[in-house]
Structure 1
Amino acid sequence: MTTHVQKPGWFTVNVMNRAVSWLTRRGISVWGSRVLAVRGRKSGAWRTTPVNLLTVDGQQYLLAPRGHVQWTHNMRAAGGGELRLGQHVDVFTATEIADDDKVPLLRAYLKRWKAEVGVFFGGVGPDSPEAELRRIAPNHPVFRITLTK
Structure 2
Amino acid sequence: MTDQTAERPHYQRPGWVTRNVFNRAMSFLTRRGVSVVGSRVLEVPGRRTGEHRRVPVNLLEHGDAAYLVAARGTTEWVRNVRANDGRLALILGRRRTTYRATELPAGARAEVLRAYLARWKFEVGAFFDGVDDRSSDAELERAATRHPVFRIDPEPAG
- Shift in Å at residue 80 of structure 1? 1.3
| Aligned-partner SS, 1:42 | coil
Match 2:38 to one of 5, 23, 32: 32
- Shift in Å at residue 60 of structure 1? 0.5
| Aligned-partner SS, 1:105 | helix
Report the equivalent of 1:63: 69
Report the equivalent of 1:127: 134
- Which amino acid is the alignment partner of residue 101 of structure 1? A
Q: How does 1:76-87 map to 2 (within 5 A)?
A: 76-78=82-84, 79-87=86-94
Gaps of 5+ in 1: none
Q: How does 1:107-146 map to 2 (within 5 A)?
A: 107-146=114-153
- Shift in Å at residue 77 of structure 1? 1.0
CA RMSD of aligned residues (A): 0.8
Report the equivalent of 2:28: 22
| Aligned-partner SS, 1:139 | coil
Report the equivalent of 1:93: 100
Structure-2-length-normalised TM-score: 0.92
- Shift in Å at residue 42 of structure 1? 1.3
Structure-1-length-normalised TM-score: 0.98
Report the equivalent of 1:105: 112
| Aligned-partner SS, 1:131 | helix
Identity percentage of aligned residues: 52
- Shift in Å at residue 45 of structure 1? 1.1
Q: Distance in 2 between matches of 1:22 and 1:58?
A: 29
1:105-142 deviation per Cα after TM superposition (whole angstroms, max 9, x unaligned): 00000000000110000000000011100111110001
Q: Distance in 1 between matches of 2:20 and 2:51?
A: 22
1:14-52 deviation per Cα after TM superposition (whole angstroms, max 9, x unaligned): 111111110000000000000000011111111100000
| Aligned-partner SS, 1:30 | coil
Q: Distance in 2 between matches of 1:71 and 1:21?
A: 15
- Shift in Å at residue 58 of structure 1? 1.9
| Aligned-partner SS, 1:106 | helix
- Shift in Å at residue 68 of structure 1? 0.2
Report the equivalent of 1:42: 48
- Which amino acid is the alignment partner of residue 68 of structure 2? L
